[in-house]
Amino acid sequence: MQERNKNLTSAADVQSSVSEYERLHLTSTTTEERNSNYSNLVNSYYDLATLFYEWGWGASFHFSNRHPYETFDEATRRHEFYLASKLNLSGALGKLKGTMNGVMNGQSKEDDEEVKEGSTPSMANVKVLDVGCGIGGPMRNICKFTGADVTGLTLNQYQVDRGNELCVADAHFKNTKKSDSGLPDVRCRSVQGDFMKQPFENSSFDAAYAIEATCHAPDRVGCYSEIYRVLKPGAIFACYEWCLTDKYDASNPEHVLIKKQIEEGDGLPDIASTHHCLTALKKAGFEILEERDLVNDEYGGWQDPVTGEYSTSKEARKHCRGGKPW
């Protein structure tokens, strides 16, 4: 317990962290109070939950629907790769090459820090932001899948430390050098910061994504505006978001209870509607290219990992007939 206390960012000890979370969610506090104290709410939740998430869920803290005969890990990677495929990273690479052609042809005086004159840009020069990265399971998978350079941003310092530990431990990313910032010189890394006040310069990234993370934001317009600010003009932001659909009825006690229990169980100040999120994106400056409710996709299985009956042995039996794989 003493060792765990050292990793806390929300309080001096575990019990105090629990008490703070209970105060914000389980007493008579209002949505407005939770929104104004979102930093404490998120930190106290992830101080307590991160170890359990990693132990029981792996390094990717999100849901994924599962196609027939897919394992849990395969579904997770497909879900992440699908989002990465929406980022138009090849287009971002093309813009980098176009910029360098301009520099080499004397048509531009721009001096890109990452791509020097006479060199050929590669996907490693394409900068991607993971907004609310947890311990970095998705960013490591997406870095491997795309070859891009990925920076993960999370409010919780324990998650930053654990994420960087995993990046350095993976031979795919390992490097012996240190960067000027003191961070590990790897192709993806986590940094501590608030996505409402991001520690990045304007137009720093060629693309950005968030996976079930911006639902923690107290103000969607403010959150999306910060993402818009750090993206280069024309860059894409792709997001999996927790939302209420139009079927939610605020006058229905059962609906209200379900919403509240999800907020309590996942450290959320308030769940916004799909309409609210789309409107907030537009107010932040984004153009909506695609949106849909993924729960309506052909294959289900979203809830399997968090049901009491789910187990790897049951998973194995689903894919075997007579003791042999199908």
Question: Can you tell me the mean pLDDT for 93-97?
Answer: 83
Question: Can you tell me the mean pLDDT for 315-323?
Answer: 37
Q: What is the DSSP string of 166-194?
A: HHHHSTTT--S-B-TTSSB-SSEEEEE-B
For residue 223 the two structure tokens come to 């959150």
Q: What is the pLDDT of residue 309?
A: 59
Number of Cβ within a 10 Å radius of residue 319? 13
**Coil, strand or helix: which one is 240?**
strand
For residue 125, pLDDT over 70 is answered with: yes
User: Where does the pLDDT of residue 108 fall: very low under 50, low under 70, confident under 90, or very high at 90 and above?
Assistant: very low
Strand runs labelled E in 196-265 = 205-211, 231-240
User: Where does the pLDDT of residue 308 fall: very low under 50, low under 70, confident under 90, or very high at 90 and above?
Assistant: low
- One-letter amino acid of 312: T
For residue 298, pLDDT over 80 is answered with: no
Q: Cα–Cα distance between 189 and 183 in angstroms, integer?
A: 8
Q: What is the pLDDT of residue 130?
A: 98
For residue 317, pLDDT over 60 is answered with: no
> Which residues are registered as beta bridge partners of 325?
320
Q: What is the pLDDT of residue 99?
A: 62
Q: Parallel, antiparallel, or unpaired for β 188-192 and 205-211?
A: unpaired
Q: What is the pLDDT of residue 112?
A: 45
For residue 106, pLDDT over 50 is answered with: no
Find tokens 């997406």 and name the residue. 142
Number of Cβ within a 10 Å radius of residue 245? 11
Is this prediction's pTM over 0.75? yes
Question: Can you tell me the mean pLDDT for 183-189?
Answer: 75
Find tokens 């990046």 and name the residue. 167
Q: Cα–Cα distance between 184 and 164 in angstroms, integer?
A: 7
Q: What is the dihedral of CA 88, 76, 211, 234, to 10 degrees?
A: 0
Q: Cα–Cα distance between 257 and 69 in angstroms, integer?
A: 35
pLDDT digits (tens, 9 = 90+) for 50-94: 888 898 889 999 999 888 888 889 999 999 999 999 999 988 888
Question: Can you tell me the mean pLDDT for 173-193?
Answer: 69
Taking Cα atoms as reference points, which of 133, 141, 260 lies closest to residue 190?
133
For residue 181, pLDDT over 70 is answered with: no
Please tell me which residue, 114 or 267, carries the higher pLDDT value.
Answer: 267
Question: Can you tell me the mean pLDDT for 36-51?
Answer: 77
pLDDT digits (tens, 9 = 90+) for 253-274: 999 999 999 988 888 888 999 9
| Topology (CATH) of 2-325 | Rossmann fold (3.40.50)
How many Å is the maximal CA-CA distance in the chain? Answer: 69
**Cα separations (Å) of 164 from 16, 44, 296?**
27, 20, 35
Question: Can you tell me the mean pLDDT for 322-326?
Answer: 31
For residue 252, pLDDT over 80 is answered with: yes
Per DSSP, helices labelled H in the chain are 2-6, 14-25, 31-36, 38-57, 72-85, 89-104, 137-146, 157-169, 220-230, 253-266, 274-284, 312-318
Question: Can you tell me the mean pLDDT for 173-189?
Answer: 63
**Coil, strand or helix: which one is 209?**
strand
For residue 126 the two structure tokens come to 């394409």
